[in-house]
Structure 1
Amino acid sequence: MCTYLKNMANYKHSHLKNKSFEEIQMLFNNTLKWIESFVPMDTELVKGSEKVAKGCSKRATYKLEQEDAKRQRIEEENESVE
């Protein structure tokens, strides 16, 4: 377990030296859960989230463009008044 924690979770010997077996086992279980919950980038779950992110960025870009156009109109109106 200690070797696994050193290699996979970047724990040092000094971190694990003063811990009890139960504490090391808890760290091991947490690290194992973290590694098992990893989702590769080419899976369907990740591809679905990319579509959502693209839609959000399109809306955000559209909103920014509208704000820029509004700001330009206001500046032009202020210049024409002066």
Structure 2
Amino acid sequence: MKRYPKFLKTLPEFYGLSFYEIGALIVGLYLAMILKLSPLYTLLTSAICIGVLKVIKRNFDLKAYFLPTRKDLDLSEFKRRTK
């Protein structure tokens, strides 16, 4: 297997926040707008959303959770259609 440099494996960051953390920040801001929170609570909500996302990413394997449990692929139905 070919090894790639580290910069090709890492996700891009913007002001130190990854793509997922920016998404959590936006969710926190929208949640604060919907609930009409004060600026202090808005910052707190955004920080909590980012923190929860980091805990979930560190402690749970979301890719394995969302992938289907079946690993086999049945091509017999596909073969019948192409004839």
TM-score range (shorter-chain normalised) is 0.3 to 0.5
Q: Which has the larger radius of gyration?
A: 1
**Structure with more of its chain in helix, by fraction:** 1
Structure 1 or 2: more strand by fraction: 2
Q: Which has the higher contact order (CA 8 A, sep 6+)?
A: 2
TM-score normalised by the chain length of structure 1: 0.36
